């Protein structure tokens, strides 16, 4: 028996110790290669797509779903119960946990990743920098000493020179990381970084590094097998970040020359060979404006952004992982690796870019991904986005003959993406891809900070958006006249609709013409709409003679629209009459919140009323809207009669405050 055969570790079923899109991604390749797949899930993920797609699924969670996927004992037990012979950790969670890798080894399970010893060596940022320095890899100057006292840390920061970067020694994903511009801000930043590191990783230890001004974040994808073979698959540029977390990644980097790629790739291969590294890994570097590069850290796992490397190399990185884990040799030499074209990936996240990228959770009402480019996700219409996990909900990846083609395809794909019900960063990503600095390949890690106002600039066509939103809210009302009814001799009354697009309310008058068309009036401007087709979530129409289409979702008084490549959310304040009336009628005057017919006057002159008491009911589009008293007091005047048609803003009841 050959040496290679003696080192084989075969398995036939794989438990994926992760969730969401990465679990589905691993299952896809595993199934193609003939392996069975097992999922694990927390209570929050009971109906998740990765659970439904697996051959078997084992519950490992209870009251705290965020901690469920970190339970090593439960995952090992799930693998044993399901008959899985191997465990793939995906990324995040336990992927870089040496105790988990050791527990798999002790349980006789194949851990699809590096050895516990390699994870331990590279998992600690301070230790990893020492190892890399000894292997001849350039490292960022800094301090990674054992003395963590406040005085020593401040002294070392002064010695390094500001600005400095504080980094959690066991960190990742931007947590426990702070950029400090001067000595006065250092104590507070240090306390904050330690607290975040303790909460995220259970270890408050930090290191200090010299802050490289305006660098690029470059990472090298490496693979090694158990026979001493190692290769690199080129670089990825991950410079576009917010909160020190990657948002856009591409391969190759616009600023890495073939010569630099060969140099930095050779350094990375030498480094992984020095620790007998097995499996997929990524060495992360900072590239300064002069072309010098410095080692930051090594991620001993598959990366979120691995699809861009797959796109330009034609390789399946999960397949390479599985091949190596079974004991097969890598089967590739460095000269076998060829690069073709350019690839870009964006992370679609459930977050509000306009409010400091605040994560969002809730129900995804409509979820339609583009079919022209690669999308990795684990959602469908109606899926719940739980508040317990990372905000990334999809990865959208494009590949083109060159960078500009890849960028154009990605913008087009994002413009076709319908993610309705939860605020996402879709528009922000499009703004980034379109920005001249990104288009020219000039984006550094300072890109979002330097161009934040431009990237978050609101669109200029609010009135057009309000007109379209008013039309859709009007025609999708279940009691609205059918849009196919054609010409009519009946008189029509304008209905004033109040639309909130998130940056102020618009009052839009909607009129159904006798010829079947609609006119939306706003601030003296008019938009004429002719509807050609109206489906459950699509509309085709002519607006002022131009044929257009839009996708939408109506959810009560909320409306989500994808139009001209941009997503917007509208709220119908017209239908929120009780809240609007109560808020607006502090002067004792109850005003009609829309055009409509008075169907009931619910109080009499001289009657005592309380705040919030119903006083009048208005009917519009066969829906009744109750108006309420904004103040407590005595009804002094009734200004309308039942059956009367009133316009928006008309005073209907007056109350003398008590």
- What distance in Å separates the CA atoms of residue 279 and residue 122, rounded to the nearest whole number? 14
Sign of the alpha-carbon torsion through 297, 298, 303, 305: positive
Strand pairing category for 110-111 and 366-368: unpaired
Beta bridge mates, 376: 395
- Strand arrangement of the beta sheet that strand 623-628 belongs to: 623-628, 614-620, 596-601, 645-646
User: Residue 251's Cα: distance from chain center in Å?
Assistant: 20
Grouping H, G, I as helix, E, B as strand and the rest as coil, residue 524 is: coil
To the nearest 10°, report the CA torsion of 325, 328, 334, 340. -70
**Interior CA angle at 555 toward 552 and 560, to 5°?**
30
Strand pairing category for 13-16 and 36-41: parallel
- What distance in Å separates the CA atoms of residue 427 and residue 363, rounded to the nearest whole number? 19
Q: What crossing angle do the helices spanning 186-201 and 150-160 adopt, rounded to 10°?
A: 110
CA atoms within 13 A on the CB side of 470: 32
- What distance in Å separates the CA atoms of residue 382 and residue 361, rounded to the nearest whole number? 13
> Which tokens go with 169?
């020694």
> Which whole-number Å values give the CA distances from 121 to 96, 124, 202, in the listed order?
11, 7, 18
Grouping H, G, I as helix, E, B as strand and the rest as coil, residue 101 is: helix
Catalytic position from the list 19, 226, 301, 409:
301
Residue 261 designated active-site: no
- Determine contact, residues 94/17, Cβ cutoff 8 Å: yes
- Determine contact, residues 545/553, Cβ cutoff 8 Å: no
Strand pairing category for 505-512 and 558-563: unpaired
The backbone torsions φ and ψ at residue 356, rounded to the nearest 5 degrees and listed phi first, read 55, 40
Residues marked active site are found at 301
């Amino acid at each position: 028996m050959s040496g290679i055969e003696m080192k084989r570790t075969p398995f036939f079923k794989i438990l994926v110790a992760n969730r969401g899109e990465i679990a589905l991604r691993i299952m896809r390749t595993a199934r193609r290669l003939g392996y069975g797949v097992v999922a694990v899930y927390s209570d929050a993920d009971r109906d998740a797509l990765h659970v439904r797609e697996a051959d078997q699924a084992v519950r490992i969670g209870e009251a705290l779903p965020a901690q469920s996927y970190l339970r090593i004992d439960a995952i090992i037990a799930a693998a044993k119960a399901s008959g899985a012979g191997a465990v793939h950790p995906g990324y995040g969670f336990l992927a870089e946990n040496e105790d988990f890798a050791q527990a798999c080894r002790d349980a006789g399970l194949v851990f699809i990743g590096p050895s516990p010893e390699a994870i331990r060596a590279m998992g600690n940022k301070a230790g990893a920098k020492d190892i890399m320095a000894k292997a001849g890899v350039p490292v960022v100057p800094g301090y990674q000493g054992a003395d963590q006292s406040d005085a020593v840390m401040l002294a070392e920061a002064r010695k390094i020179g500001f600005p400095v970067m504080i980094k959690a020694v066991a960190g990742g994903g931007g947590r426990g990381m702070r950029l400090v511009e001067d000595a006065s801000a250092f104590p507070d930043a240090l306390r904050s970084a330690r607290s975040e590191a303790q909460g995220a990783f259970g270890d408050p230890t930090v290191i200090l590094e010299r802050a490289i001004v305006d660098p690029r974040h470059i990472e090298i994808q490496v693979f090694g097998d158990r026979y001493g073979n190692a290769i690199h698959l080129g670089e990825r540029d991950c410079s576009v970040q917010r909160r020190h977390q990657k948002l856009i990644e591409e391969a190759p980097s616009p600023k890495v020359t073939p010569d630099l790629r060969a140099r930095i790739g050779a350094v990375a291969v030498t480094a992984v060979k020095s620790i007998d590294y097995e499996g997929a890994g990524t060495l992360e570097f900072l590239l300064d404006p002069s072309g010098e590069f410095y080692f930051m850290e090594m991620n001993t796992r598959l990366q979120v952004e691995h699809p861009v490397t797959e796109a330009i190399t034609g390789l399946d990185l999960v397949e390479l992982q599985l091949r190596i884990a079974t004991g097969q040799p890598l089967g590739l030499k460095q000269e076998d690796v060829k690069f073709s074209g350019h690839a870009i990936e964006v992370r679609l996240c459930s977050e509000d870019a306009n409010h400091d990228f605040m994560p969002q959770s809730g129900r995804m009402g409509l979820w339609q991904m583009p079919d022209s480019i690669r999308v990795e996700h684990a959602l469908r219409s109606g899926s719940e986005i739980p508040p317990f996990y990372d905000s990334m909900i999809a990865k959208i990846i494009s590949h083109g003959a060159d960078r500009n083609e890849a960028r154009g395809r990605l913008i087009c794909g994002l413009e076709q993406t319908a993610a309705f019900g939860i605020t996402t960063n879709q528009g922000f990503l499009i703004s980034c891809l379109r920005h001249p600095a990104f288009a020219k390949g000039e984006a550094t890690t300072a890109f979002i900070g330097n161009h934040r106002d431009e990237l978050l600039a609101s669109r200029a066509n609010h009135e057009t958006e309000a007109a379209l939103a008013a039309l859709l809210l009007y025609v999708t009302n279940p009691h609205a006249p059918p849009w196919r009814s054609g010409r009519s001799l009946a008189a029509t009354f304008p209905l004033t609709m109040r639309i909130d697009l998130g940056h102020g309310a618009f009052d839009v008058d909607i009129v159904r013409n006798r010829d079947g068309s609609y006119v939306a009036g706003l601030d003296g401007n008019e938009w004429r709409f002719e509807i050609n087709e109206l489906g459950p979530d699509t509309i085709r129409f002519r607006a002022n003679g131009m044929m257009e289409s839009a996708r939408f979702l109506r959810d009560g008084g909320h409306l989500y629209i994808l139009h001209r490549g941009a997503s917007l959310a509208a709220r119908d304040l017209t239908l929120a009459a009780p809240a609007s009336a109560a808020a607006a009628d502090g002067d004792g005057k109850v005003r009609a919140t829309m055009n409509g017919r008075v169907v009931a006057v619910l109080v009499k002159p001289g009657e005592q009323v309380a705040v919030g008491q119903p006083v009048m009911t208005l009917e519009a589009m066969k829906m009744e809207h109750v108006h309420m008293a904004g103040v407590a007091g005595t009804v002094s005047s009734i200004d309308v009669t039942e059956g009367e048609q009133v316009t928006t803003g008309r005073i209907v009841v007056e109350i003398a405050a008590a």
